[in-house]
Amino acid sequence: MNLSKRQLETKDKIIQMAKVFGLDPFWAISIAMVESSLGEAQKSSTGCKGIFQLSTIAMKDLLQEMEKSDDDIADIACGLAFLYLLLKRHKSIAEATAHFCDPNDRYFYVDKVLSYMKVFKDV
């Protein structure tokens, strides 16, 4: 199979992340290939987006399931994905952090997070 440079990069990212989650990487790559040609065709007439063509219904299902079960892996994955998006949008850790929390707690929360960052970096 001839894959473009972008498809190869996407395939490698999926393999890396699938291993973190204990998933069969070939299964994940195959689903992504069917859904979006590994990111080459990310447009959907149904409104789904991205490499895995996730719909708002799928995301809502994920969040509802997380409320019912205690799954650290799903919680960490969603939390990290949200942090990634916030940082991409707001360009700084302080601003991204401010948008992660309740707006009424913004200053307290940001100071506390930045303080913990110093502690963890020193450990």
How far apart CA 80 and CA 20 sit, in angstroms, is 13
Place of tokens 């291993």: 19
Whole-structure pTM value: 0.73
How far apart CA 107 and CA 75 sit, in angstroms, is 25
In tens, the pLDDT along 87-104 reads 999 999 999 999 998 889
> Domain spans of the chain?
1-54, 71-123
In tens, the pLDDT along 3-17 reads 999 999 999 999 999
Q: Which band of pLDDT confidence, cut at 50, 70 and 90, is reported for residue 21?
A: confident
